[in-house]
């Protein structure tokens, strides 16, 4: 018995010490934070609400992030704040939902909108918390950066107005991608630049330079080119692609074992993206998506898998092929039809579409509930209507009471008014 009690005590003490040591890497912040922080401090902050289930699920991940950043000697401090009590701090960071993940670097605030995973958040912290523009001083460093990043932007040349524009773009776009600078002699010999200074993007095994006459604003160009031309796309990536002003051509496939048709659709989309890159790269991103739940919500229906679809996330529009697409020629005809307008977009973000999507989301949410727990579903649906009915009844009852009181007041005043009228008549006689 004594050994058992000792074991239990050691386990409890160890758990408490572990919780204390882990929580020591995450600081609880309040409304005094903006006044007490250092000017050069870099903070990664999670805003939460005590009742938010997603916040509770993220909590252990958040402590792991704090512990790992501390062990790596990162300059990034990790904190969390209850937005329901630290309302001033939440207002300062313009928090609209929970959990909200933001980064404060000097006076600039960066919002994280990627997946709520440890790797995703850590990568965001390393990117934003490090140098705004990383210098590549040797060919070895350049090759190392190329191996680590699918897309990388590099400024080549001396100080210029273009570098100022590049730095300005990096200040806001660092949340999405990495920025580098280098000299001409550091780049591989196969990289040929027509003139200096230049901004070059390396991706998809090749490179191309920014041309102000063809590409317009530098920041807009970086925003358009910050994804690989072909990639695996999830809901977070697809949503972010909506900011690029490019259309996204997708092959929808199964989320687990792929059938033969799915493999063929993926290969066909990848081949077209590579072989016709010069033709379509300014208008399209290409990729494949596993599962169709996100797309079903966009089209408000069931999309057959495997299939092809083109989406415009900036307007919530979509295009499905009017006929079956089985060959490369048919896929090219479909893409060309999207560009020349012969294949019309559906959906959109108009008022009627938003109402339809709201109704669809409610139906999708409630249908599984009714099938699994019909009584609970009836209660959740009927309860709001019952409350509305009671309020309506009370309003009508109150209105009737007021009307009756008005009638009674008029009845009481009538004899007095009559006597007053009679006195006036007598005086006039």
Residues tagged active-site: 52, 55
Buried residues in 43-62 as b, exposed as e (16+ CB within 10 A): bbbbbbbeebeebeebbebb
230-232 and 284-290: which strand pairing? parallel
Tokens of 347: 């959906």
- Give the count of beta carbons closer than 10 Å to the beta carbon of residue 347: 18
SS3 state at 134: strand
Q: Where are the alpha helices (DSSP H) in 342-373?
A: 351-372
SS3 state at 20: helix
In sequence order, the β-bridge partners of residue 381 are none
- CB of 184 closer than 8 Å to CB of 134: no
Q: How far apart are CA 238 and CA 313, in angstroms?
A: 8
**Axis-axis angle for helices 118-129, 53-71 (nearest 10):** 50
Buried residues in 401-420 as b, exposed as e (16+ CB within 10 A): eeeeeeeeeeeeeeeeeeee
Enumerate long-range contacts of 267-275, CB under 8 Å, 24 or more apart: 268/328, 268/331, 269/230, 269/308, 269/331, 270/230, 271/328, 272/328, 272/331, 272/332, 272/335, 273/229, 273/230, 273/249, 274/204, 274/229, 274/230
- CB of 42 closer than 8 Å to CB of 76: yes
Q: Which residues contact 246 (CB under 8 A, 6 or more apart)?
A: 224, 282, 283, 284, 285
């Amino acid at each position: 018995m004594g050994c058992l009690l000792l074991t239990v005590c050691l386990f409890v003490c160890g758990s408490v010490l572990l919780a204390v040591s882990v929580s020591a890497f995450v600081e609880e912040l309040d409304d005094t934070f903006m006044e007490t922080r250092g000017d050069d401090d870099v903070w990664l902050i999670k805003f939460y609400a005590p009742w938010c289930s997603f916040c509770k699920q993220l909590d252990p991940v958040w402590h792991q992030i704090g512990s790992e950043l501390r062990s790596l000697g990162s300059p990034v401090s990790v904190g969390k704040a209850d937005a329901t009590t630290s309302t001033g701090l939440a207002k300062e960071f313009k928090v609209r939902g929970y959990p909200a993940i933001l980064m404060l670097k000097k006076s600039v605030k960066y919002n994280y909108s990627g997946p709520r995973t440890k790797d995703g958040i850590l990568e965001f912290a390393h990117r934003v918390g490090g140098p705004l523009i990383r210098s590549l001083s040797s060919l070895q460093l350049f090759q190392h950066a190329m191996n680590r990043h699918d897309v990388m932007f590099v400024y080549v040349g001396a100080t210029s107005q273009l570098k100022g524009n590049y730095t300005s773009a990096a200040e806001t776009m660092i949340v999405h991608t990495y920025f580098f600078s280098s000299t001409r002699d550091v780049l591989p010999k196969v990289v040929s630049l027509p003139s200096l200074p230049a901004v070059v993007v390396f991706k998809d095994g090749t490179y191309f330079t920014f041309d102000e006459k063809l590409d317009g604003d530098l920041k807009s160009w970086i925003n358009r080119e910050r994804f690989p031309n072909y990639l695996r796309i999830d809901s977070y990536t697809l949503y972010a692609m909506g900011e690029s002003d490019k259309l996204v051509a997708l092959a929808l496939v199964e989320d687990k074992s792929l059938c033969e048709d799915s493999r063929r659709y993926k290969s066909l989309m990848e081949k077209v993206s590579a072989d016709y890159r010069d033709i379509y790269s300014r208008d399209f991103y290409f990729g494949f998506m596993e599962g169709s739940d996100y797309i079903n919500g966009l089209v408000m229906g069931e999309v057959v898998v495997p299939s092809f679809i083109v989406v415009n996330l900036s307007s919530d529009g979509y295009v499905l092929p009017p006929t079956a697409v089985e060959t490369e020629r048919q896929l090219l005809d479909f893409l060309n039809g999207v560009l020349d307008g012969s294949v019309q977009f559906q959906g959109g973000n108009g008022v009627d579409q938003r109402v339809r999507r709201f109704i669809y989301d409610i139906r999708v949410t409630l249908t599984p509930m009714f099938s699994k727990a019909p009584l609970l579903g009836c209660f959740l649906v009927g309860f709001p209507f019952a409350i509305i009915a009671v309020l309506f009844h009370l309003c009508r009852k109150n209105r009737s009471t007021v009307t009756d009181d008005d009638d009674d007041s008029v009845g009481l005043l009538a004899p007095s008014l009559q006597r007053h009228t009679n006195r006036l008549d007598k005086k006039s006689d």
